Structure 1
Amino acid sequence: MKKVKIYFLLICLMVGFTACSTPQPSPKNHTHPKILRYALAQEPNTLDPQKVDASPEATIAYHIYEGLMRSYGDQLLYGIANSYEISTDGLVYTFYLRDACYSDGTPVRAQDFVYAIQRMLTEEDSSRPFMAYPIKNAAKIHRKELSIDALGVQATNDKILKFVLENPTPYFLQLLTLPTFSPIPAQSDPAMVDITLSNGPFMLKEWNHNDSIVLEKNPNYWDADNIPLDQVSIIISTNGTKLLDMFFNGELDVLPTSTTNVPESFSPYIQYYYNGANDFIRLNMDGSCPLSNKNLRLALNYALDRNAYVDALGSEDVTAISRYVLPILPGTHKTFGEEYPLEAFPLNGDAQKATDYLNAALQDLGLKEASDIRLELLVSDDYWARTEANIIKEQLESVLGIYINVFSVPYQTHMDLEETHNFQMSLSGWIPEYADPATYLELWTSDSSYNYASYKSEEYDECFQTANSQMDAQSRMSLLAQAETILLEDGALIPLQIRQSALLKNPKLTNFQTYYINTEYQYIYADFST
C-alpha cells in the first residue's frame, strides 16, 4: 500500500508549489444537474473490483460496485444484504439479499458473490486474495492445495448466501465492505467479465485514458432515490497549476493540497484528515544480520528522538508516534488509541537506555566497539524517503556510534527486496485494509505472508490467535492491545509517524467523507447546499 502515498504526495507537492496568491473561488451552480468534480494524479490501472489495488482506483470501484455490506465513515451499513445471521460459534454467516439489480437491470444473485470470491482466489492478478482467507479452505485453494469446490461459501438460492469460516472472525463484516467482495455476474468464461456492469450507486459512463473518468448515477441501484449526485467527473492530471485554477474557477470541488506553507486564502476551503498511512522501519530478524538480537533492536528504538526527527522533516502532515497500531481505528466503544493508550518508547528518545541496550548487544554479539556494527537501511528512491532515511541515519549514528548505510532503490525493487527478506532495515509503512487493529497485527504472525521481518514469537502468535477466537468484543480488543505491546517490547520494528493529508473543498459540498481505509473519499450521499 506504500505506492498510494507516493501517488498522493505527487499531487500534494505540485499543488503546494503552485499555491501562492489565489483568487476567491466562484463555484458553479450544481443544482441542475448535480456534478461532483475531483482530481487524480494517476491513471487507474483497472476498475475490476477483484483487481483494484491503490486507493484512488479502489475509491472509484467502491462507488460503482456494492458488496453485502457497506461502510460510510465509521458506520457499518447494509449493502446488497438486507439482513444476516451469525451462528453462536461465530463460524457461519448467512446473508439474505435484497432485491437489487445491475446497471442493465439484471438481478444481483447470491451466485454472483460466490463467483466473485472464486475469482479472488484463482485469478493470477487478483489484488487481495488473502482477504478471503478467513473463509474455510480459501488459503488452501489460493495455494492450489484444494479445488475451488471446497470453498466455504455457498448460494443456497438466488437470495441466500452462506459463509463458513476457518475461525471466528469478528471483523468479517468489515471485510465484506471492500470492493474486492463485490459481486460479478457469474460467467462460464472469466475473460467475458464486463467491469462496466455496475451494481453500485454509480456506473462508468466514460473513461478517457490519462484524461478523465465520468461516473453517472445508476438508475437501477436499489437506493437510487437517496443518491443526490447525478454525475461524478474525475480529472486525471499532474498539472498542479491547471488544477488549482480549475478549483478557484469552480471547475473542481475537491483537490488534494499540501499541508505545509498553506496560503491564507486557502483557509475557508481547506480540510485536514488522517489518511491512514502509518510509517515504521522493519528490522530483519531472520538471523542473517545483527538485528536478530533483541537488545540491538531496543537500542535503535530508544536512540531515536521521534519528535526531533519530525521537526527535522519540516512537514506539518506527520505526527510522531511510538506505537504500531493506528490509534484512530475503532475500539469497542471509543477509538483503539483512547481505550488502550500506549507509548512504547519515549518520543524524545532515551540516550542512556539506548546505550545500555547497545552495550548488552555488543556483549551478546561478541563485539568490542559500537563502530563494529554496520547496518543497511533500505528505502525507495523518492525525495521524501531519502530525506527521512538521512535524518534517521544521522540520529542513530550520533547516539549509538554505529554505522548505517542508506540503500536507495526504485519503489518496485524496494518491495521485491522486502518480500524476499533481502534487507536489514527497511523504511516501510501500512495503510489499514479494514477497520480493525487486526489489519496491522496479522502481518506479524509466524505464518503471515507479510511477515517480511521474519518475526517469530509463540507468545505473540498465541495472543493474536486467542484474540480472534473471542466472541466478546472487549476481551478481543484487550488481547489485541496485549499483542501490540508484545510486538513492541520485542523491538520488532521502529515506529515513526502517522500522516495527515489536506484537501481544498467547495464549501457548498456536503456529506462528502474522507476515509483512511482502502478508499480516499466516500461521496455516495454527497450533495450541494443551495
Structure 2
Amino acid sequence: MKKTKWYLLSFTLLMSMLLAACSGAEETTKEEEESSSADSSSKQELHLTEGAEIPTMDSSLTIDAIASQWLGSTKDGLYRLGKDGKTEPGIAKDHKVSEDGLVWTFQLREDAVWSNGDPVTAHDFVYAWQRTIDPDTGSEYGPYMMNGVIKNAEAVSQGEKELDALGVKAVDDFTFEVTLERPTPYFQSMTAFGTFLPMNQKFVEEKGEKYAMEADALLSNGPFIMTEWDHGEGWTVEKNDDYWDADKVKLEKITVNVVKDTASAVNLYETNEVDVTNLSSEFVDKYRTNEEFKTEEEPTVFFLKMNQENEILSNLHARKAIQMVVDRQSMVDVILNNGSIPAGGYMPANFVNHPETGEDFRDINGSLVTDSVAKAQEHWKKAKEELGIETAELRYLGGDTEVAQNLDAFIKDQLEQLEGLSIKVESVPFKVRLERDSNMDYDIENYGWGPDYIDPNTFLNLWVTDGGNNKTGYSSEKYDSLIKKAGTELAQKPGERFETFLEAEKLLIQEDAVIAPLYQRAKAQLWKPYIKNVTANPMGPDYTYKYAYIEGK
C-alpha cells in the first residue's frame, strides 16, 4: 500500500529509499509547465534504492507498498494520482454518477494501449476486478477493498455467487459501468489504488503462474515499463513511448537497487551512485544541517500486532501491559530520530478532519495509550494470575534490515521489563514476513498501515471479524456493528459517520487493546537538488514519478 496504501506497510519499508515529495520541487501551477522545463542537457535518469525485493507485481495479489509503488509507475487505472496526491484522469477520461450514487459510468480514452500494442478496454477492467475478487485467486486486497463497496463482491468472494454477478460491466469497449452496494463518495480515489488496475486477459492466461514474476511477464499501460528485474538485486523501469500521455514523461529511466543497510545506501549517495537515500538515526545528526537533508511526515502508523490465537495474548490484561510498557517517546527520539512521532492511537494525525468542525481526528480522540511501566506491570501481574503462569515466551516477528533490527532490539528490551516475559525476535526478509503474517505465524509483529483512500474507513475497517488484513483473531460484534453502521445507514450523514469512527477507535485501542500503537512515520532523507517535480501521495504509491525530471546535473 496509503495505500495504500496500500496497502500492508512493513517496518522494512523504513529502508525504502524513495524520493521526498515536497523536497525542493519547484512550485508552479501545472505539472505540464514544470515537466516541460526539463534540462535537455541533463541525463534523464533517476537512481534509487529500496530496502526489500518486490514480492510480486500481480495487482490481484500485492499487499505491500513496494509493489504498489512500481505498479503505480507502470500502470494506469481508471484514475491515477497526480499533483498534490489528487486523482487525475488515467484510462478514464471522465465519469458520471447516478442520482442515487450507486451507478458509476466511466468513459475510457481510446488512445491507451498495452505495451504489446493491444488497446486498453473496459473488458480489461471487468476481467481484472473479477479475477481479484475470485476466491480461487486468493487475493487479500480484493475482498478487503471491494466487499461492501462493489455490488455482490462479498457474495462472490465467498463463493456464493458467480463472478459475473459482480457489479461491473463493459457496456462497450470504452464504457465501463460499476454498480456499488451503497453510496461511496470516495470511490473515485479508490479507483487509483492498485487493486483496481486493469489486466490483459490473454496475456495473463498465456503467462500462467509466471505472470507478474519477471520483467518479461508484465504488460504496462502506464508511464514506464519494467525492462529488467534481477530478483534480490533490483529492477529498472524505462519510459513507455507508447503511453497515451508520453509527452508529459521526461525521465527516460529509473534504476532501483535493493540495499538493506543504511551505511551502504549513504555511501552510494555520497559517491553519486544513487540520487536519494533514507537516513537511520545514527546518520540524522551528521546530515541535519546539510542543504540536501529533508524530513517528511506520512499518514502511516506502526504498531505491535498481537495474535489473539496465542493463549497469553488472548488475555486482555496481557495486551494492555504490552501497550503500556514501551517508551514511545524515547523510541522516536533515540532509535528512529527521523521526525517520526509517538502514535496516540491508530488514526494518524493530519489525515482526516471532522466534516462539521474541521478538527483533526487525532486531536479529537487524543492519546488513547498511556506509557507507564508501573501500570503495565499491574496489568501483566493480573494476566499471569488469570493465566496461571509465572513466565512466558513470545515470538516477535520483525524485519531483516539494519534499521528494523535496531528498533526490534529496543522493543524486545522494553517488553522484557514485564516480569517473567522473554521475547524471541525472528528477523526475516520482507517477502517472508508477508507470508507469515497471512498465515498468522507470529505472536507479536511489528506492523504498519498506510491509507488506501482518504477516509477513516481505510484504517478502521481493517479489524472487522475475519477481515482479509485483520490476521489477529480479533472479533467483536460491537466493533463490527460500528463499522457497518458507518458504511450503511450513516453513509450520507458525514458528521454522525465521523463520530462513529471516533467511537470505534476508542473501542479498538482503549477497551479491547487489539494493537499497541508505536509511532507515526516520518522519513529523514538526503536527495540531490537536481531532482524536480516528484509528488508524494497520501495513499497508494508513495510517489508519482510521471512528471519528474532532472535539471542541472
Q: Same fold (TM over 0.5)?
A: yes
Distance 1:116 1:494 in 2: 36
- Relative to the length of structure 1, the TM-score reads 0.81
* Residue among 489, 505, 509 paired with 1:488: 509
Distance between the aligned counterparts of 1:115 and 1:259, measured in 2? 46
Asked if the contact 2:8–2:63 (Cα under 8 Å) also holds between the matched residues in 1, the reply is: no
Q: Deviations over 1:136-186 (max 9, x none)?
A: 233443444332221210111223211122344444322210233222334
The offset of 1:268, in angstroms, is 1.7
> What are the superposed Cα offsets for residues 246-275 of structure 1, whole Å, 9 maximum, x if unpaired?
655666443444354243497222222235
Could you state the TM-score of these two structures normalised by the residue count of structure 2?
Answer: 0.78
1:340-419 map, 5 Å: 340-346=364-370, 349-351=371-373, 353-354=375-376, 357=379, 365=386, 372=390, 374=392, 376-380=394-398, 382=400, 384=403, 387-398=406-417, 401-408=419-426, 410=428, 418-419=437-438
Corresponding residue to 1:82 among 88, 93, 117: 93
Match of 1:157 among 142, 167, 172: 172
Equivalent in 529, 550, 553 of residue 507 of structure 1: 529
Cα distance, 1:506–1:50 mapped onto 2, change above 3 Å: same
1:115 positional shift: 1.5
**Equivalent residue for 1:117?**
129
Deviations 1:389-416 (A, max 9, x none): 5544544554x53423335364566655
Q: 1:451 aligns with which of 460, 463, 470?
A: 470
Q: Which residue of 2 aligns with 1:218?
A: 241
83-92 or 490-499: bigger deviation: 83-92
Shift of 1:493: 1.6
For 1:246 and 1:373, locate their aligned partners in 2 and report how far apart those are by CA, in whole Å: 46
Structure 1 residues 467-476 or 265-274, which shifts more?
265-274
Q: Contact between 1:58 and 1:179, CA under 8 Å: does it hold in 2?
A: yes
Q: For the residues of structure 2 that align with 1:314 and 1:448, how far apart are their CA atoms?
A: 31
In the alignment, which of 303, 325, 331 is matched to residue 280 of structure 1?
A: 303
2:84 maps to 1:69: no
Q: 1:132 aligns with which of 136, 146, 156?
A: 146
Instruction: Please tell me whether the aligned partners of residues 338 and 524 of structure 2 are also in contact (alpha carbons under 8 angstroms).
Output: no
Asked if 1:92 is matched to 2:81, the reply is no
Q: Quickly say closer, same or farther: Cα 1:206–1:375, change in 2 above 3 A.
A: closer
Structure 1 residues not aligned, in runs of 5+: 13-28
Matches of 1:488 and 1:161, distance apart in 2:
41
- Indicate the SS of the match to 1:340: helix
| 1:31 shift after superposition | 1.9
Q: Are the equivalent residues in 2 in contact too, given 1:117–1:181 (CA < 8 A)?
A: yes
Distance 1:452 1:182, change over 3 A: closer
User: Partner of 1:85: helix, strand, or coil?
Assistant: strand
| Per-residue CA distance 1:4-58 (angstroms, 9 max, x = gap) | 542653869xxxxxxxxxxxxxxxx942466141223455454444454543333
C-alpha distance in 1, partners of 2:288/2:414? 37
**SS of alignment partner, residue 401 of structure 1:** coil
Pair 1:82–1:259, CA change in 2 (3 A)? farther
- The CA deviation string for residues 172-226 of structure 1, in whole angstroms up to 9 with x for no partner, is 32221023322233439722588654322334455577465141143441x344x
Higher relative contact order structure (alpha carbons within 8 Å, sequence separation ≥ 6): 2
Please say which of residues 48-57 and 481-490 is displaced more in the overlay.
48-57
RMSD: 3.7
- 2:457 aligned with 1:438: yes
Q: Deviations along 1:368-388, whole A, 9 cap, x unmatched?
A: xxx726352422363655554
Contact 2:354 2:360 in 1 (8 A): yes
What's 1:40 paired with?
Answer: 49
The aligned counterpart of 2:12 is 6
Q: Which deviations, in whole Å up to 9, do the C-alpha atoms of 1:257-308 show, x marking residues without a partner? A: 435424349722222223554221223434x524434344334433443223
Gap change, CA 1:413 and 1:512, over 3 Å in 2: closer
Count residues with an aligned counterpart: 504
Deviation at 1:77, TM superposition (A): 2.2
Structure 1 CA distance for aligned equivalents of residues 206 and 121 of structure 2: 20
Higher deviation after alignment, 516-525 or 190-199: 190-199
**Inter-CA distance 330–509: structure 2 relative to 1 (3 Å threshold):** farther
Letter in 2 for 1:31: S
Contact kept, 8 Å, 1:36 with 1:232, in 2: the verdict is: yes
Note the residue ranges of structure 2 that are not aligned, 5 or more in a row. Answer: 1-6, 19-37
Q: Could you tell me which amino acid in structure 2 is paired with residue 342 of structure 1?
A: G
Q: Residue 19 of structure 1 aligns with which residue?
A: none
Contact 2:297 2:340 in 1 (8 A): no
Distance in 2 between residues matched to 1:413 and 1:450, nearest whole Å: 16
SS at match of 2:283: coil
- Which has the higher mean CA deviation after the structures are superposed, 247-256 or 127-136? 247-256
Q: Matched residues in 1 for 2:496 and 2:420: separation? A: 42
Identity, % of aligned positions: 26
Larger Rg: 1
Matched, 1:297 2:309: no
Q: Kindly indicate whether the alpha-carbon contact (under 8 Å) linking 2:297 and 2:523 is maintained by their aligned counterparts in 1.
A: yes
1:59-111 deviations in whole A, cap 9, x for unaligned? Answer: 22212211111223431223222222334444322222233311566443212
Match for 2:70 among 60, 64, 76?
A: 60
Q: Deviations over 1:350-370 (max 9, x none)?
A: 35544554566567x275xxx
Deviations 1:448-482 (A, max 9, x none): 13332222222211111111221233433332222
Instruction: Report if aligned partners of 1:256, 1:504 keep a CA contact under 8 Å in 2.
Output: yes
Query: Which piece of structure 1 moves more, 44-53 or 509-518?
Result: 44-53
Q: Which amino acid is the alignment partner of residue 476 of structure 1?
A: R
The DSSP-based 3-state class of the residue aligned with 2:202 is: coil
State which of 448, 451, 464 in structure 1 corresponds to 2:483. Answer: 464
CA deviation after TM superposition for structure 1 residue 320, in Å = 1.8
CA distance in 2, matches of 1:256, 1:405: 29
Pick aligned residue for 1:324 from 335, 346, 370: 346
The question of whether the paired residues in 1 share the 8 Å contact of 2:392 and 2:420 is answered with yes
Query: 3-state SS of the aligned residue for 1:187?
Result: helix
After TM superposition, the structure 1 stretch with the greater mean CA deviation from structure 2, 429-438 or 40-49, is 40-49
User: Distance between the aligned counterparts of 2:10 and 2:443, measured in 1?
Assistant: 24
Go from structure 1 to structure 2 and tell me whether the alpha carbon gap of 1:307 and 1:253 turns closer, same or farther (over 3 Å shift): closer
Structure 1 pair 195–434 and aligned structure 2 pair: CA distance change class (3 A):
farther
Q: CA separation in 1, counterparts of 2:39 and 2:413? A: 52
Contact 2:85–2:535 (8 Å) recurs in 1: no
Residue 467 of structure 2 aligns with an amino acid whose one-letter code is: S
The alignment partner of 1:156 has SS state of strand
Partner AA of 1:378 in structure 2:
Y
